[in-house]
Amino acid sequence: MLLLIPGPVQTRPEVRSAMAVDIAPWDRDFFPESIAIREKVRDVAGGLPDRHVALPLQGAGHFIVEAAIRTFVPAAAGKLLVVSNGAYADRMERLAREAGRDVAILRIPDTRGVTPGEVAAALAADSAVTHLGIVYSETGSGIVNDVVAVGEVVRAAGRRMIVDGVSAFGALPFDLKAQPEVDAMVFTSNKCIEGLPGMGFAVCPIERVEASAGNAASWSFDLSDVYATGRRAGFGSFRFTPPVQALHAFGVALDIFIAEGGQPARLARYCENCRILYEGCVKLGLVPYLDWKEQGPIIALFHQPKHPGFKLLEFVEALKRRGVLISNFHNTVEPTFRIGCIGHVGPDEIRFAVGAIRGALEDLGVRQKNAA
């Protein structure tokens, strides 16, 4: 089965088979491996050894996003402005509210990225805002927010930034040392690095982590405690049992990522995947959710055909019979279906998927067999 979902993504056999081992995470033999993974993650994020640190946290992407919010946005004097142009931004908002943080929303259509001018105006209008929360690649719609340009206005306004890079990290460029306004860039093991689910990471300036001790009001979600534990017990250690096989497999995936040419190579492959998918679906008469100029390389959405024969679940089942698995839900207001361009897939797989989409539309009677 070809998995075309925006995480967990299709992985390489050698990544999956790395899971088939027993490991004691607190065993001294595992420490060097765990430390090496953290250091490679820091380097991929553009962090510097003495200034930045990669902090791992067990669990899903939501957990690491919540941890970053709790750790860096002060409960009493902090306020998070969330750039809301999609479903994952809405999730960031909910995580912050349920953590008791003061939250404001900068609402933008989910069909385009936010402009630096919009962010600058919103920050100027609300001096209570301490942090901007932004989703780098909005997996809900496929748009990309320009984290570099937005970061510049955040820095100029003297505020801080938390970046949800869960579906971006490893594919879209990011350089932490060039963005001193960033408190945390967060991501997980199972998206663009093409590992298995189970681990989240936040890459942060050490100085900011140290200054945030006591903010989180949660032991589990306190990144400053993750850091303090590393200082005390060694950076290979974990406070609580990690999904150690997923971490081990992530290390394998990370080495493959680096050997393949890192972020530029991954971006090039995903861009090519996305272009073939977008153009192929347009040729089939499908209407993309985004204009090409707003289309990011991670996921592409298409409007559900208005034909009475089209039902999303039946379409997904028809595609599955043809060997392609896509999401059976959408999180846009308008009915769409979404196809991931990420994971261990290339142009051949995407061409195969376009053929399967054509076949599935025919199976449903939405498209005439042998139509142009």
Ligand X SMILES: *Cc1c(COP(=O)(O)O)cnc(C)c1O
Residues near ligand X (CB under 6 A) are 6-7, 60-62, 65, 88, 135, 139, 164, 166-167, 188
For residue 43, what are the CA distances in angstroms to 31, 40, 80, 250?
A: 18, 5, 27, 15
Beta carbon nearer to ligand X, 35 or 271: 271
Q: Which two tokens stand for residue 161?
A: 């930034």
Q: How far is the CB of 60 from ligand X (least distance, A)?
A: 3
Q: Whole-number minimum distance, CB 174 to ligand X, in Å?
A: 14
Residue 26 is encoded by which pair of tokens?
A: 């607190």
For ligand X, which is the closer residue by CB, 140 or 151?
Answer: 140
Distance CA 144, CA 140 (A): 11
C-beta neighbour count of 232 within 10 angstroms: 8
Helix and strand element counts for the chain (H, E): 12, 11
DSSP state of 184: E
Cβ burial, residue 330 (10 Å; 0-12/13-18/19+): buried
Q: Do 350 and 2 form a contact (C-beta atoms < 8 A)?
A: no
With left for phi above 0 and alpha for psi between -120 and 50, is residue 352 left, alpha or beta? alpha
Q: Tell me the C-alpha distance between 176 and 163, whole Å.
A: 11
Nearest to ligand X of 134, 361 (CB atom): 134
Smaller CB separation from ligand X, 244 or 298: 298
- Other Cβ atoms less than 10 A from the Cβ of 76: the count is 8
Q: Measured from the CB of residue 164, what is the shortest distance to ligand X in angstroms? A: 5
Q: Take residue 292 and report the two structure tokens written for it.
A: 């090409």
Which has the closest alpha carbon to 177: 270, 308, 42? 42
Q: By C-beta, is 188 or 235 nearer to ligand X?
A: 188
Length of the chain: 372
103 vs 354, beta carbon nearer ligand X: 103
Cβ–Cβ < 8 Å for 116, 150 = yes
Q: Minimum distance from CB of 166 to ligand X (Å)?
A: 4
Query: Could you give the 3-state DSSP secondary structure of residue 116?
Result: helix
Question: Which of 234, 215, 189 is closest to 58 using CA atoms?
Answer: 189
Cβ at position 192, least distance to ligand X in Å: 10
Q: How far is the CB of 318 from ligand X (least distance, A)?
A: 25
Longest distance between any two alpha carbons in the chain, whole Å: 67
Which residues pair with residue 203 across a beta bridge?
A: 54, 185
Nearer to ligand X among residue 64 and residue 354 (C-beta): 64
Minimum distance of ligand X from residue 48's CB (angstroms): 26
* CB 138, min distance to ligand X, A: 6
* Closest approach of ligand X to the CB of residue 249, in Å: 16
Residue 147 or 366: the one with the smaller Cβ distance to ligand X is: 147
User: Least CB distance from residue 61 to ligand X, whole Å?
Assistant: 2
Q: Which residue is nearest to ligand X (CB)?
A: 61
Q: Specify the residue, 166 or 324, whose C-beta has the smaller distance to ligand X.
A: 166
Cβ contacts of residue 109 below 8 Å, gap of 6+?
A: 85
The nearer residue to ligand X, 140 or 230, going by C-beta atoms, is: 140
